[in-house]
Structure 1
Amino acid sequence: MQGSSYYIPAAAMGVALAFKTPSLVRAWTDPLMRAVCSLLALAGLVFFFAAPPTIGEVNRLTGVANFSAPLVYSLLSAFSASCLVLIVNWRGGPAEEIRRTSRRWCVGFSVLIVALVTLFVLGDAPVERLRDLDTYYATTPYIREMIVLYLMGITMSGVMMNYLCLRWALQVHGWLRVGLLIIVVGYSFNTLYAIAKFAAVFARWGGANWDGLSTNTAPILASCGAQVSAVGFCLPLVCQRLADSWHTWATYRQLGPLWRELNKVSPRDARSVRIPWWSSAELSLTRRESDIHDGLLALHPYFDPEVHSRAHAAALAAGADPEQAQAVADAAMVTTAVRARAADPEGVVVDSARDAEPAATEGTRDLVRISLVLRQPPHTAAAPGHAARPESEVHERMR
């Protein structure tokens, strides 16, 4: 593999981390956010420092032949720990248990990193090897143990990741399960990477030469595993965000008929609260819901509980379920109030003594159901005798 094969994924991880940094600053106390950012940072560092050109440059700058070996192995170990910590925090559970488990993984891999550095210092690796250090020094005292130890750490991490993800996948559904199964596939590549490395090292111990497994095959397996695992981590988050956005925009559109009906009361105010078309789905929905609540509040003096009762009874008699009957009754009362408000251009406040019942139920109204009723004209057919009172009757009530 050439340097670009390492630098491109390193750059991708850096870009992803840059996008996540503002969220990390805002939610520094969130363990899951810290775990995600740590994983992205360590993954980028692993790819960057594992590139042969970087290995040679680091060795040159430090003046120590093969200084990059314990550096890259330590970064790989830290990355393995970050993956396990991320899964533990992502899965959730009691906060104390999550902290305890995360601390255990961090401490365990920290000890591993200290052991790797110590073994490198004790060993003797004077000849610089950019791509085949594992097999070239497979029989060198202390360096040999360092190589085996880091491979054992990677293998244990892969097995634990697959175990945790498979166990969690059996408990969930949807895109989360798909993502977890993809992560399992990705870490299976990582396990194959460790197996290829072990096979090449063991072959050296037996006097054979299987260096190609370590030098050529293993890096390809590691790259495939990293990319597949990244898809597994990202897929549930992206799909959930798309699903949430779709649901939000669907709700926004469904509220359209009710929003437009209430605009008849104060169209100028409705125009003044419009927000840019490029606003987020959540902001657009919040604005529309706010407009609707403001419109209902403005209509409140004109709500007639008799209209509501007649429409509700008629809907039940027509076979509607209780929730649908409530929505039909609310829609009838709203449209009647809109007409009554239009018949009162002076805006004289109607006596609200009879409005106690609508006020009590307003908080429980299902705005989407009401809006969907308004979408199906004639939406007040189930309310006999509900038609808006003529302007003279409205003024008569206001005397």
Structure 2
Amino acid sequence: MKDLLHPVSLSVAVLGFLCMLRDVPARRRDPATLALTAVFALSGLSFLFSITPMWAYLDSVLGTVNIAVPLAQGCVIALIACQQVVLTYWGSPPEHARRRARAWLGAGLGVIAGLLVLFALLTPSAPRPLDFTLYYAHDNVYAAYLTLYITAYTLGELFLARACWRLGRRNGHGPVRVGLRIVAIGATITLGYSAVRIGNVIAGFFHASLAAWEDFAWICGDIGAILTLTGWLVPTISDQAQSAWYWINQHLSHHRLRHLWLAFHSVAPEIELPVDQLDHAQRRRSRSIGFKLYRRATEIRDGRFVIRQYLDADVRRRSQAHHKARGLKGEDLDAAVTADQIIAGIAARARGDRPAPDRLTDFADADRDISKPMDDIDALLAVARRLSREPARAPHRERASA
């Protein structure tokens, strides 16, 4: 059962670790992110060390029989401490979190040191990758070893389940709340593993065996661990999905603004911002889609400024009447009228036909709220969509009125 479940758990841990690595460079000063990354790494190592082929490999390389036991369980104790560090930083002020995090890490190191000392006192004679606990259940030293390990493990999982459930109730961010509750459920399920291991210690004193419960112990341990890792991963995947969608949306917006940009660039090529004057670092940043989108929006705004002096109030009035008759209103109406004004303004500039001062007007969408970062892009996209649909209507009307 162990060799069947551990590879699945290992795969989840590796996936989580790879997902966390993406955020580490940007959040390398965030202790919670670093601790959560360590949780996935340590969890993966604990499962890897316990798989029978790796168990045998470690025995041969390190020259100590069953050395995988303290290595794997040491990783488990370390990841339990790291989970508490994550919760501490998520739920406490930084000054208190640092002090409590050091206490958790110190306690984890103390337990690991105790496990290593007790394991050194054992006298293992042969590799026991499948039944190590059952084989040594009657050994007093191993009883002490298992008691220390399972006590730390059980207390850690109890603290984890309780803290995650309470913090999840206080957190209003959906993915974080859902993730914490999944972690709490997973930690609760692992207590089935704890119960069997506690039973192993008690059964040893009565010269009894819980061999029939071994599969149940591994099922609880692995399923609980998988749920716990999945819960920790939910907020990260949610954030990365939002970041990926934002990145895709920036590419789409950059492409959709091309038609509008070309319209201005065809009559005012000077709006194109020079890139060859940037230094090496600035050029590297200029290759990012965020910079390209910002640059395109800025150049379009410059283009609007260039043709603003060619905007005729009569064109705006006729365009408004036309689109109102088609049922447009609000921001949709302003975007459609602005698209007509742009086409008419570009044509007027090409002819050198500037309207009289009393006929000058502004763009219909000039008063649109663009206080948020993407509001400006959304406003330009609304105009670009209308410009693509009706590229010749406004110039035709202006020629008719000239």
TM normalised by structure 2 equals 0.72
Structure 2 CA distance, aligned partners of 1:173 and 1:240? 11
Matched residue, 1:218:
217
Deviates more, 1:190-199 or 1:134-143: 134-143
Matched residue, 1:172:
172
| Cα 1:143/1:362, change in 2 over 3 Å | closer
Matched residue, 1:119:
118
| Cα 1:105/1:333, change in 2 over 3 Å | same
Matched residue, 1:278:
none
Matched, 1:147 2:157: no
Matched residue, 1:342:
347
Counterpart residue type for residue 295 of structure 1: I
| Cα 1:367/1:347, change in 2 over 3 Å | farther
Structure 2 CA distance, aligned partners of 1:25 and 1:256? 29
- Cα distance, 1:259 vs. partner? 5.8
- Cα distance, 1:194 vs. partner? 0.8
Deviates more, 1:355-364 or 1:45-54: 355-364
| Cα 1:15/1:349, change in 2 over 3 Å | farther
Matched residue, 1:188:
188
Q: Write the deviation string for residues 14-57 of structure 1: whole angstroms up to 9, x where unpaired.
A: 46545654654565433233223312221121011112333344
Q: Is the 8 A contact 2:5 2:219 kept in 1?
A: no
| Cα 1:20/1:143, change in 2 over 3 Å | same
Matched residue, 1:299:
304
Aligned with 1:238: secondary structure? helix
Q: Write the deviation string for residues 249-285 of structure 1: whole angstroms up to 9, x where unpaired.
A: 568768987764453222597xx99xxxxxxxx9656
Q: Is the 8 A contact 1:52 1:131 kept in 2?
A: yes
Structure 2 CA distance, aligned partners of 1:252 and 1:60? 53
| Cα 1:69/1:265, change in 2 over 3 Å | closer
- Cα distance, 1:220 vs. partner? 2.0
Matched residue, 1:232:
231
| Cα 1:145/1:362, change in 2 over 3 Å | closer
Counterpart residue type for residue 220 of structure 1: I
Matched, 1:49 2:40: no
Counterpart residue type for residue 58 of structure 2: V
Q: Is the 8 A contact 1:331 1:374 kept in 2?
A: no
Deviates more, 1:45-54 or 1:104-113: 45-54
| Cα 1:285/1:53, change in 2 over 3 Å | closer
Q: Write the deviation string for residues 163-222 of structure 1: whole angstroms up to 9, x where unpaired.
A: 121112113242322222211221122111111211232223234322232x32212221
Structure 2 spans left out of the alignment, 5+ residues = 274-286, 390-395
Structure 1 CA distance, aligned partners of 2:350 and 2:180? 61
Q: Is the 8 A contact 1:66 1:125 kept in 2?
A: yes
- Cα distance, 1:230 vs. partner? 2.2
Aligned with 1:343: secondary structure? helix
Structure 2 CA distance, aligned partners of 1:53 and 1:226? 21
Aligned with 1:204: secondary structure? helix
- Cα distance, 1:151 vs. partner? 0.5
| Cα 1:361/1:70, change in 2 over 3 Å | closer
Counterpart residue type for residue 143 of structure 1: Y
Matched residue, 1:265:
264
Alpha-carbon RMSD:
4.6
Q: Is the 8 A contact 1:299 1:341 kept in 2?
A: no
Q: Which structure 2 residues correspond to residues 26-65 of structure 1 after superposition, within 5 A?
A: 27-65=27-65
Counterpart residue type for residue 221 of structure 2: A
Aligned with 2:349: secondary structure? coil
Matched residue, 2:378:
368
- Cα distance, 1:288 vs. partner? 4.0
Q: Of the two structures, which has the highest relative contact order with CA contacts closer than 8 Å and spacing of 6 or more? A: 2
Q: Write the deviation string for residues 63-106 of structure 1: whole angstroms up to 9, x where unpaired.
A: 444333322221221121222223334x2653333322222211
Deviates more, 1:30-39 or 1:110-119: 30-39
- Cα distance, 1:359 vs. partner? 9.6
- Cα distance, 1:296 vs. partner? 1.6
Structure 2 CA distance, aligned partners of 1:300 and 1:3? 69
Q: Which structure 2 residues correspond to residues 243-392 of structure 1 after superposition, within 5 A?
A: 243-246=242-245, 260-266=259-265, 287-303=292-308, 332=337, 335-345=340-350, 364=371, 366-369=376-379, 371-372=381-382
Q: Is the 8 A contact 1:138 1:204 kept in 2?
A: yes
| Cα 1:250/1:28, change in 2 over 3 Å | closer
Identity in percent: 20
Q: Is the 8 A contact 1:255 1:367 kept in 2?
A: no
- Cα distance, 1:130 vs. partner? 2.6
Structure 1 CA distance, aligned partners of 2:352 and 2:13? 60
| Cα 1:134/1:307, change in 2 over 3 Å | farther
Aligned residues: 368
Structure 2 CA distance, aligned partners of 1:58 and 1:47? 13
Q: Is the 8 A contact 2:261 2:299 kept in 1?
A: no
TM normalised by structure 1 equals 0.72
- Cα distance, 1:287 vs. partner? 3.4
Q: Is the 8 A contact 1:13 1:41 kept in 2?
A: yes
